Amino acid sequence: MQKYVCDVCGYVYDPAAGEPGEGIQPGTAFKDIPADWVCPGCGAGKDSFSPAP
């Protein structure tokens, strides 16, 4: 599954790990995260993420 990186702070969302503390279970693709989710590193919106290289 594709990882995504926050363009603001560099936080990497790894779908294999999810973000359980944020209510996002392991195996959740980035596209399936709710639109109002924000980066746990800096609070930037989902639109501030790009596919990781």
* pLDDT tens digit sequence for 2-52: 999 999 999 999 999 999 988 999 999 999 999 999 999 999 999 999 999
Structure confidence at residue 26 (pLDDT): 97
Letter string b/e over residues 16-47, b meaning 16 or more CB atoms within 10 A of that residue's CB: eebbeeeebeeebebeebeeebebeeeeeebe
Structure confidence at residue 22 (pLDDT): 87
